[in-house]
Amino acid sequence: MGAWDNGPFDNDDAADFAGDISETADAHRIAAQLEEALTAVTNADGYVEAPDMNEALAAAAIVAVLMNPEMPVPSSLDQSWIESARVAPPTHLRGAATHLFARALQPEDNEWYELWAEADLVDEVRDRMTPYASALA
């Protein structure tokens, strides 16, 4: 999985996604990139691969970061980008991000969950996601 810790930005896929999105300055493009990553998982009909879930979790966490300046910002996102991009995400993105956090913790058709379950770390991962999910409420 290329993970070095169990937070939503602590893997190669999420770091790459965060790095890519931080190169975007246009609020509409940022929203489109976030939506694309979120809906790749929330609209999936079958098995969700871990890289897709990693990117979607990063997108959901970025939505939370944009809504709440107190959220931890990953090193792959420049603080000045966060400040310049800080706009209230559209309601549908907040809803998609909330749905994504719930979907991540469903074991059915979910490679990401399987990998954390095999490592017996699902509870720790849930704890790391909770502040981001709570920021969306």
Any domain includes 93? yes
Does the pTM of the predicted model rise above 0.85?
yes
> Splitting the chain (137 residues) into consecutive groups of 10 residues, what average pLDDT does each group show?
76 91 86 95 95 97 88 75 73 94 96 96 96 93
CA distances from 21 to 14, 106, 109 (A): 11, 27, 27
Is residue 28 one of the residues assigned to a domain?
A: yes
In a domain, 42, yes or no: yes
Note the pLDDT of residue 3: 64
The domain in which residue 74 lies consists of: 12-135
Has residue 45 been placed in a domain?
A: yes
Domain count for the chain, please give it.
1
Residue 4 lies in a domain: no
d(C-alpha 59, C-alpha 65), whole Å: 10
Q: What is the pLDDT of residue 137?
A: 86
For residue 42 the two structure tokens come to 């929330």
In a domain, 96, yes or no: yes
Contact 133, 101 (CB under 8 A): yes
Of 17, 30, 117, 137, which Cα lies nearest the Cα of 77? 17
Q: Are 86 and 111 in contact (CB under 8 A)?
A: no
70 found inside a domain: yes
Residue 7 lies in a domain: no
